[in-house]
A and B are shown apart, each in its own frame.
Chain A
């Protein structure tokens, strides 16, 4: 797991949560985990494919999920219903999308998958031989834990992207 890949996610999370939910997050202590993680009440999973590949997991409590979507959608949510689920999944989607733009600017082009939302404490999520960087992001509504298991794609692997051709040769 390359630490270079972490900052785009922390910046993206900060920017998106500020813009969408009007909360400022502060980053807590990082850790590197190899074993499976025991999921929070709610986890959003988004995969990345391309020059950087792997998975981004966003873990939070149901209460924080309800508070975030209440702020995002400017309406009071009482329970973590389907609309709340789609709001939290979208948050994961937008943060990962924003991070992938920053990664592309740093030379790592990737595409992101649609999000999957997992609910159920005690469920264990394993990224197998990819170690995870764990980044807690705290705000008044609770802690959003970002887990990143990302690596550079092995060189030589075709990523399906067509390079922009060189302009026609200059007149010599």
Chain B
């Protein structure tokens, strides 16, 4: 897990949460985890593919999820229903999208996948041989934890510069050249 990828996510989360929820987030202690992550009540999973690739999780308690969703949607939500779930998944999507813009400005182009939402504490979620950088963001509405399992991607894309220059065509005799 490359620490270069950390700041774009922390900045993106700060900016998006301030804009969407008016909350000020404070960054807690970072840690690196290599075993499986034991899930909190709500986890949003997104993937990145490109010059930086891997998986990103956003986890929080049900209470925090409801509070955040209520702020984003501008109405008090009682149950973590479809609307609230969409709101939280969209939060993960927007933060990751913003982070991917910052990453591309730093030279790491990537595309992001649609979000998947996981509900249920105590599940074991493994990123296998990818260690995760865990970043807690603390606010008045609880803690949003960002888990980053990212690495530099294998170069898959062809740039015109790397294409071989074709042989100059040999013209038949008698044609203008």
Q: B157 contacts the other chain (Cβ, under 8 Å)?
A: yes
Cα distance A53–B112 when bound, in Å?
9
> Binary interface profile of B, 33-72, with partner A (CB < 8 Å = 1, else 0)?
0001001000001111110011100000000000000000
Q: B158 contacts the other chain (Cβ, under 8 Å)?
A: yes
Cα distance A117–B124 when bound, in Å?
8
Cα distance A54–B36 when bound, in Å?
23
Q: Is the CB of A114 within 8 A of B126?
A: no
Q: Is the CB of B118 within 8 A of A119?
A: no
Residue in chain A with minimal CB distance to B119: A124
Across the interface, which residues of A come within 8 angstroms of B166, CB to CB? 167-168
Q: B144 contacts the other chain (Cβ, under 8 Å)?
A: no
A35 to chain B, nearest CB (A): 9
Q: B173 contacts the other chain (Cβ, under 8 Å)?
A: no
Q: A72 contacts the other chain (Cβ, under 8 Å)?
A: no
Partner pick for B128 among A86, A122, A162, CB 8 A cutoff? A86
Q: A32 contacts the other chain (Cβ, under 8 Å)?
A: no
* Residues from 109 to 154 in A contacting B, C-beta threshold 8 Å: 111-120, 122-130, 149
Q: Is the CB of A130 within 8 A of B114?
A: yes
Residue in chain B with minimal CB distance to A126: B117
Cα distance A119–B122 when bound, in Å?
9
Across the interface, which residues of B come within 8 angstroms of A39, CB to CB? 123
Across the interface, which residues of B come within 8 angstroms of A171, CB to CB? 169, 171, 175
Across the interface, which residues of B come within 8 angstroms of A129, CB to CB? 86
Q: Is the CB of A119 within 8 A of B85?
A: no
* Residues from 18 to 53 in A contacting B, C-beta threshold 8 Å: 36, 39, 45, 47-50, 53
Across the interface, which residues of B come within 8 angstroms of A111, CB to CB? 49-50, 111, 156
Q: Is the CB of A113 within 8 A of B128?
A: no
Q: Is the CB of B111 within 8 A of A49?
A: yes
Across the interface, which residues of B come within 8 angstroms of A160, CB to CB? 50, 109, 111, 157
Q: A165 contacts the other chain (Cβ, under 8 Å)?
A: yes
> Binary interface profile of A, 62-88, with partner B (CB < 8 Å = 1, else 0)?
000000000000000000000001100
> Interface of B with A (CB < 8 Å)?
36, 39, 45-50, 53-55, 85-86, 89, 109, 111-120, 122-130, 149, 156-160, 163, 166, 169, 171, 175
Additional A-B contact list (18), CB under 8 Å, known A111-B111, A116-B55, A119-B125: A47-B114, A86-B129, A89-B126, A111-B156, A115-B128, A116-B125, A116-B126, A118-B123, A120-B39, A123-B120, A124-B118, A124-B120, A126-B89, A126-B119, A127-B114, A128-B114, A162-B158, A167-B166
